[in-house]
Structure formats: structure tokens, C-alpha cells
Amino acid sequence: MIVRILVFIALIALGSWMAYTQLMKGRRCSQPATASIVGRERKRTHSARGRSSTHYAPVVEFDAFGQTIRATADVDSVFAGKYKDGDTLEIRFNPQKPEEFVVQGKSFRSGVLGGGFLVLIGILGLILSLKK
């Protein structure tokens, strides 16, 4: 019972941290720009069960106050063809640190919603565990 309660508290903490960091990043990234996709970064992840999956994050270039910035977006896809070279993404970047950016509507929303979902699961699990 104690372990289950600690797991739900950890979910609440993790979800809160995810949502908070994404909200703060969204506040810092206020300058709009259009980024062109110039490639894809291949990421391989492994699960505890030994399964692996490959994700492709778009590498983008955009203009930030006359300087060309090249960076990897924090949105990804398991489909290599989802992002094609030459496609564009609407982004917002941090004027103080242009290599920090969010893809409008995608990375920001998924981080906040993902964190909120973990908080919700943690709260519901905690309530149900304490009722027993």
C-alpha cells in the first residue's frame, strides 16, 4: 500500500514538473518564426522489456535576428517520412537564447497535456488507494 501511494505521489510530482517546465519554456519562447526542415535526427529508445523503437526528430533552420539557427525540434515521429526536407514549421524561439524554441501547437501542447495527464492519474490513483 505504501509503495503504491509513493508511486502515485511520484506521478503527481513528475507530471507537475513536466507541465511547469513546458509552460516556462513557452513563456520564454515569444518570438515567432518560420523554420525549414533540413533533416531528421534518428533517436533509438529501449524499454525495460528489451523492445526498441526509432523516432525521427526534425532538424530545423530559422532566422533569428539575422543569424541562422540550426536545432533539433522536440517533436518526433516513429515515421521517418512524416517530416520532409523543405517542409516548414511555425515556431516561437527564445529571444535571449534562440536555439531554444517550441513548435507552435505541438511540442508545447503535448508537454503540458502529458504532464497534466500524469497529475490526473496520480491524483485518481492516490484517492482510490486511500479509500481502501
- Residue-wise DSSP of 86-111: T-EEEEEEETTEEEEEEETTTHHHHH
The tens digit of pLDDT for each residue in 70-112 reads: 998 876 665 566 778 999 989 999 999 999 998 877 556 667 7
Please provide the average confidence, as pLDDT, over all residues in the chain: 85
The pTM of the whole model exceeds 0.75:
no
Q: What grid cell was written down for 109?
A: 501542447
Report the pLDDT value the prediction gives residue 41, as an integer from 0 to 100.
87
Question: What residue numbers bound the domain in which 108 lies?
Answer: 2-131
| DSSP code at position 77 | B
Report the pLDDT value the prediction gives residue 80, as an integer from 0 to 100.
60
Query: Whose CA is closest to 87, among 67, 108, 73?
Result: 73
Query: Whose CA is closest to 71, among 24, 22, 106, 37?
Result: 37
Cell 517533436 sits at which residue? 75
